[in-house]
Chains A and B, each alone.
Chain A
Amino acid sequence: MKKTLFDKIWDAHVVKKMDNGSDLLFIDRQFIHEVTSPQAFAGLRERGVPVLFPSRVTATADHNVPTRNQHLPVKDEMSAKQIRELEKNCRENGVELFGLGHRYNGIVHVIGPELGLTRPGMTIVCGDSHTSTHGALGTVAFGIGTSQVEQVLATQCLLGEKPKRMRITVSGKLSAGVAAKDVILHIIAALGAAGGNGHFVEYAGNTVDAMSVEERMTICNMSIEMGARGGLIAPDEKTMAYVAGRTFSPPPGDMNEALAYWSSLYTDAGAVFDAEYFFDAEKIVPMITYGTSPAQALPVDGWIPGNAENEKRALDYMHFNAGDRLVGKKIDFVFIGSCTNGRIEDLRAVAGLVAGKKIAESVTAWIVPGSKEVETQARAEGLDRILESAGFEFRQPGCSACLGMNEDKIPGGKYCVSTGNRNFEGRQGPGARTILAAPLTAAAAALYGYIKDVRTILN
């Protein structure tokens, strides 16, 4: 039978088919962090049950950590307690923790791939909806709630129905100044915030093939913003090269077996999807959001719509008017980072655009590396100096202003161009107005102090 990539990986992990049609699915690796795990460990204690496979669990502190002075005690007492709780739970249960300041610390979806913990063919979960990021390496990876975190700690399995299959094919060559972020925002705007509900998405086509593994992570990362359970991309030579030689990758002696398995991970010709969409890369331009859902995105030089009831509410919140253009709109903050766009290629792109220039005086710009390794690499390449001379604050790794859980918040009423993944009401702080964009568009906004079509300033 012809199988999709998703089916191949899912089916290989079914321990047992249940009477009601759901599957008991084995999970190869669970990532945990400080915010969605303490209640799961408490549940285990109440049941008197140990962690079944501690070696299949990896922990990091990322959501609720400061991005300055990480060597000092965490000031906020509740945050400090949450981090201590993670340390205690990991210690008591034999779970490896890459805590604050550790050389492998960072945003969970950045460190998994960069450490070689995320490998093709795996099933991966985390109590975080952007777990789909790991799908860029050909894994079935998805976000879960804390009750399920507890289930996976206790049994290394999840119980649930297999999602439907969707394929999104993007073909053609992207124009200069158009990034992976623009591609995924374009897709989400077309399909809507619930367009992927109940589905697992495979991204395919020669546009995706041409992307780097990091760009593919940006694509898969935002699958949840159209409601999809996850997103994945078939591994190819780039994936193999990316995975080989990383800290926790299989040793060279096992790589032949690995490559043989990984090269079987593709959708068979003629396999059937429940839904299919096609996009033309040449029609995709730099994108920007105007509302309070990532689906409310439009071409950076486009006009704001505003007919639907939800759009009116969003425009009220954003203080935008239907029919206006975003180009030229004054902004106050720029945030570059997150599991969507906090990797080394993102930092290089921003540094490349702002090198030798100064950001607008009216703008506060934060650049937050996705991990300690990204930070170290950026320093080694001198990117920190380029960015700081341009006026950016170069911070330490964490989720930071993407979700406004720590002190990195945008004040109410202020506009922030963010390379994060959500522009929900209050996402970056109460009353904060978030405009999502790709790193280049965000960097251009930092330089000018207003929204700029990055294509007009590229050589």
Chain B
Amino acid sequence: MEKFSTLISKIVCFDADDIDTDQVIPARFLKRTEKTGFGDALFHDLRYCADGSLRDSFPLNLARGDEQVLVAGKNFGCGSSREHAAWALRDFGFRAILAPSFADIFRINALNNGLLPVILPAEFIREIMTLSAREQVTVLVDLEKEEVAVSGTSLRSSFPVDAYRKRCLLNGYDDTGLMLTMTEEILRFEMSRPYQKII
């Protein structure tokens, strides 16, 4: 997994709550058997009209293309467990998502792909979005200090992150590597449990 420590980037705002993973990437684009190549399908039906032309009003279409931070409303990533949503966001270039809350499965998928889900107070997200409507906003996402700051303003906020997850991201470790070191304990557990025959 790619390491994550500090990120300074312009932002794209998608001002909506409950953005589900079907919107992030519609099911008909889930046919690839690799983890790559999903970026083109990111927010496909919001980015493109039915005739294939770009929908000018969609925030991603107004972006310059070098933004690595997406700012969104609460409960981002709800619905389907498709990790393709995290892959598509990464493939498009995003490294962090700032939102007041995330759906559980998406949050885990993001963390497993070096995509940092940053939980911030709803008022703080609102301020960033309001500012972004007026001018281009650059943020600093500092995982080491667990803090987000908005460039050229006094806006800053800490964010919660699990110490283990933080260590994984800072070092580029994944869970599987750690879990594989515990195989013997797992095998022992499996053999020693009651109700072997029925579960």
Contact = CB atoms under 8 A, between A and B. Distances in A.
Interface of A: 12, 15-16, 18-20, 22, 24, 26, 28, 35-36, 38-39, 42-43, 47, 49, 52-53, 63-64, 76, 78-79, 81-82, 85, 119, 121-122, 127-129, 143-148, 150-151, 154-157, 159-161, 163, 193-194, 197-198, 224-225, 227, 229, 250, 254, 257-258, 261, 293, 309-310, 313, 403-405, 409, 412, 422, 424-427, 430-431
Contacts of A293: 18, 20
A155 B46 CA distance: 39
Nearest to B82: A36
B7 to A, nearest CB: 21
A4 B101 CA distance: 27
A194 B198 contact: no
Interface string B80-112: 111100100000000000000101110011001
A309 B129 CA distance: 15
Interface in B152-199: 162-164, 174-176, 178-180, 182-183, 185-187, 189-190, 193-195, 197-199
B78 interface: yes
Interface residues of B, number: 57
B30 interface: yes
A43 B180 CA distance: 13
B79 A129 contact: yes
B176 A145 contact: no
B148 to A, nearest CB: 21
A254 B31 contact: no
Contacts of A160: 108
24 contacts: A16-B185, A24-B182, A36-B81, A38-B34, A42-B33, A49-B180, A78-B31, A85-B33, A121-B195, A144-B105, A144-B108, A145-B82, A147-B83, A147-B176, A156-B190, A160-B108, A197-B103, A227-B78, A310-B17, A404-B27, A422-B79, A426-B26, A430-B50, A431-B45
Contact of B104 (A39, A42, A197): A197
B32 interface: yes
A52 to B, nearest CB: 7
Given A147-B176, A257-B197, A430-B50, 20 more contacts: A28-B199, A39-B33, A42-B34, A76-B31, A82-B31, A121-B195, A121-B199, A129-B80, A145-B81, A155-B176, A156-B186, A157-B182, A194-B18, A198-B104, A225-B79, A227-B75, A229-B104, A404-B26, A422-B20, A424-B22
Interface in B19-47: 20, 22-23, 26-28, 30-35, 45-46
B186 A26 contact: yes
Interface of B: 16-18, 20, 22-23, 26-28, 30-35, 45-46, 50, 74-75, 78-83, 86, 101, 103-105, 108-109, 112-113, 162-164, 174-176, 178-180, 182-183, 185-187, 189-190, 193-195, 197-199
A424 B20 CA distance: 7
A194 B179 contact: no
Nearest to B195: A261
The 6 closest A-B pairs by CB, nearest first: A145-B109, A147-B112, A145-B83, A38-B33, A78-B31, A405-B27
**Residue in B31, B46, B186 with the greatest tally of chain A CB atoms within 10 Å:** B31
Contacts, number: 199
Given A26-B189, A82-B33, A250-B197, A427 B22 contact: yes
A159 B109 contact: no
Contacts of B109: 145-147
Contacts of B22: 403, 422, 424-427
Contact of B182 (A15, A121, A163, A254): A15
Contact of A122 (B46, B104, B190, B199): B199
A39 B186 contact: no
Contacts of B34: 38-39, 42
A261 B190 contact: no
Contacts of B186: 15, 24, 26, 52, 155-157
Nearest to B162: A20
Nearest to A121: B199
A324 B162 CA distance: 46
B50 A431 contact: yes
B197 A78 contact: no
A352 B31 CA distance: 37
Contacts of B105: 129, 143-145, 224
A310 B161 CA distance: 28
Given A16-B185, A159-B179, A194-B18, A119 B33 contact: no
A422 B101 CA distance: 21
Contacts of A310: 16-18
A78 to B, nearest CB: 4
A18 B164 contact: yes
A198 to B, nearest CB: 6
A193 B75 contact: yes
A64 B31 contact: yes
Contact of B23 (A79, A128, A143, A426): A426
A309 B74 CA distance: 13
A150 B186 CA distance: 16
A208 to B, nearest CB: 23
A424 B17 CA distance: 13
Contacts of A163: 104
B36 to A, nearest CB: 10
A313 B30 CA distance: 26
Given A15-B182, A36-B81, A143-B81, A47 B31 contact: no
A81 B33 contact: yes
A244 B180 CA distance: 36
A154 B79 contact: no
